Structures are given as structure tokens and as C-alpha cells.
A and B are shown apart, each in its own frame.
Chain A
Amino acid sequence: MLIRPKEGILDPQGQAVERALPALGYDDVENVHVGRLVELEVGGDERTVTARVEEMCERLLANPLIESYEVETIGVGP
């Protein structure tokens, strides 16, 4: 799950990183946002897993008031 601050919300962490990059010579960087990545393993078929993980995001992993999230399932096992 990729969780990041919702568009339009002041993201001072992203701004601080954006201000630091030009010092290293990256002058053309803009719109930096810092989010977080949550990885987990869970059993079930892909559809059920996606639904359950989205529910986890809504209830705990993200705060939908201030954060948006994307779910990606990789390496679906046997």
C-alpha cells in the first residue's frame, strides 16, 4: 500500500525535501511529497485480498480524511 498526503494538504516534509534537493544540484525538482509504504502478506484470491486490504486502509493504515492510498498486489502465490 502506498499512502500519501492528499492533494492540497500542506506537506511540510515534502517541502523540506524539495528545498534540500537544489543544494545537491537538482534545480528542476518540484511537487515533492513524502508518503509511506506498507508491505504485508495475506492469504486469499486476488479479489478478496484487494477488498480486505482496502478495508484495512480505510480503518487503520490510512486516515482517509488526510491521506490517499493505492493498493498493489504482487506475487500472488499458489
Chain B
Amino acid sequence: MSARVGVVVFPGACDERDALLAVDRVAGLEAQYLPHVERDLKGSDAVLLPGGFSYGDYLRAGAIARFAPVMERVIEFAREGGPVLGICNGFQILCEARLLPGALLVNEHLKFTCRQVLVSVEGTDTPFTSGCTTGERLSMPVKHTTGRWFAPPGVLEQVEAAGQVTLRYADGTNPNGSLHDVAGVANEQGNVFGLMPHCEHATDELTGSTDGLRLFGSLATHLSAIPA
């Protein structure tokens, strides 16, 4: 039986369909939508917060979505050790919910940026990168205005020392001025992971890369190893 991945649908999201399709491409995974108004994860084995502009990005990106009814359960699920993946806006929401360290700020150059980047896998202790090798390069697109990861002094050193930086922009492709070229971070336990690049848009040769499947494939392997 396939493991179920719940894709949360917030008002203003736009990448939930690609996320659903990306998950369904992977053998052993089956995606389902989770409406933002419900306090129910419908038996999901992992939760994905997709990209977009939830609640219009009003106030701060992710600040309002973080209090959506479904997030109560997502936060509980994360604290219980359940795998939670946040892509772009989903990453912003996880930082606002304090499930991940740091915050996402407006890009250093203030512009919306949309381009292919290379990231280097730095941490393989998460359900989403466990199938990758350290130093492996992944090609994925970014498309955001608010993607500059920041952590205050003290927190930054702590995050680095604990090995929570999971992905780093490689070869000078940092598109937003994020500190230490951070493209993705995990929580201390490793079960919550957020990234700015869109792994769900990198699952077909037609759009330039299938490297995003490395992350979804890792999740499938991770979930299949857990006894039902």
C-alpha cells in the first residue's frame, strides 16, 4: 500500500497541483489534498505545504497561514516526529510557525526572481534527503520575492553547528542573498524541512530537470521503512 502525503491547500496557494502531481509520480506515494479549514490530516503519513501566496502574503509571507485551522494538526504532527515538507511559501509558513529556525526576508535586490539554480545537498539526515549523497548537486527552479533566509547571530551558528543546513545554493547561484547560501533547513530532529527551490517543478525532463524526484524518492523510501 502506498504511503499518503497530504498537500495542504491554503487560499492563495498556486503550486498545490504540481505538488500533488509530483508526489503521485513517485512509486509508493499517493497524494491527497488537505483543506486549510479542516483540523484533520486524513491519515496522512507526511504533510507538504506547497508554494504560492497564501492569504496574499499580507503582513508577512506565511504569517497568517500559520494560524489556519489545519496548522494546529500540522504542528502537532511535526512535534510527534511526522515528516513535514515546506516548499517556498510552505518554508515561510514553517518559519513563521517556529517549526524551523530563522525567517525569510525580501530578496536583497528586491526583485522577483525566477530561474534555475544549483543546490548542494549538505545534510542527509532528513526523510527528504536520506536518499541523496552529501555534496550531490540538484538543479531546481526558484521563483520568489521573499526568499532570503536569515537567522540572527547565535541562532545562525547553532543551526550550522547542528548540521541543520540541508541545502545550499552552489556555484554562485544564490538568487536572493540568503545567509551562508542557505537554500533549505531542517529542524533539530530532521523531520521538518523547508526549502525555497521548487522540487515539485523539477520532476519532468520537459521542464529541464527531474532532480526534485530525489527528494520525493527519499521520502518514499523513508515511509516504506516504517511499519504500518
Given A60-B59, A60-B67, A66-B150; A12-B103 close (CB under 8 Å): no
A13 to B148, CA, bound (A): 13
Q: Which of A12-35 contact B (CB under 8 A)?
A: 12-13, 16
By beta carbon, the residue of chain B nearest A6 is B152
A12-B108, A65-B102 given. 4 additional CB < 8 A pairs? A10-B177, A13-B106, A13-B110, A65-B151
Q: Does B78 lie at the interface of the complex (its beta carbon under 8 Å from any beta carbon of A)?
A: no
16 A-B pairs with CB atoms under 8 Å apart are A9-B150, A10-B105, A10-B177, A12-B110, A13-B110, A60-B59, A60-B67, A61-B59, A63-B60, A63-B63, A65-B102, A65-B151, A65-B155, A66-B103, A66-B150, A66-B152
Chain B contacts for A66, CB-based, 8 A: 103, 105, 150, 152
Chain B contacts for A10, CB-based, 8 A: 105, 108, 177
Of B106, B152, B177, the residue contacting A65 (CB under 8 A) is: B152
A52 to B160, CA, bound (A): 36
Question: Is there an interface contact between B105 and A60, defined as CB atoms closer than 8 Å?
Answer: no
A10 to B108, CA, bound (A): 8
| Interface residues of B, Cβ cutoff 8 Å to A | 59-60, 63-64, 67, 96, 102-103, 105-110, 150-152, 155, 177
A1 to B64, CA, bound (A): 18
Q: How far is the CB of B208 from chain A (nearest CB, A)?
A: 29
Chain A contacts for B107, CB-based, 8 A: 12
Question: Is there an interface contact between A63 and B96, defined as CB atoms closer than 8 Å?
Answer: yes
Q: How far is the CB of A13 from chain B (nearest CB, A)?
A: 7
By beta carbon, the residue of chain B nearest A65 is B103
Chain B contacts for A12, CB-based, 8 A: 106-110
Question: Is there an interface contact between B103 and A63, defined as CB atoms closer than 8 Å?
Answer: yes
By beta carbon, the residue of chain B nearest A36 is B59
A65 to B59, CA, bound (A): 15
A13 to B102, CA, bound (A): 20
A48 to B106, CA, bound (A): 34
A16 to B107, CA, bound (A): 12
Question: Is there an interface contact between A60 and B152, defined as CB atoms closer than 8 Å?
Answer: no
Chain A contacts for B60, CB-based, 8 A: 63
A65 to B96, CA, bound (A): 10
A16 to B63, CA, bound (A): 25
Q: How far is the CB of B194 from chain A (nearest CB, A)?
A: 15
Chain A contacts for B96, CB-based, 8 A: 63
Question: Is there an interface contact between A9 and B105, defined as CB atoms closer than 8 Å?
Answer: yes
Q: How far is the CB of B89 from chain A (nearest CB, A)?
A: 15
Q: How far is the CB of A34 from chain B (nearest CB, A)?
A: 10
Chain B contacts for A60, CB-based, 8 A: 59, 63-64, 67
- Interface pairs A-B: 7 shortest CB-CB: A66-B103, A65-B103, A12-B110, A12-B108, A63-B103, A63-B60, A16-B110
By beta carbon, the residue of chain B nearest A10 is B108
By beta carbon, the residue of chain A nearest B177 is A10
A13 to B152, CA, bound (A): 19
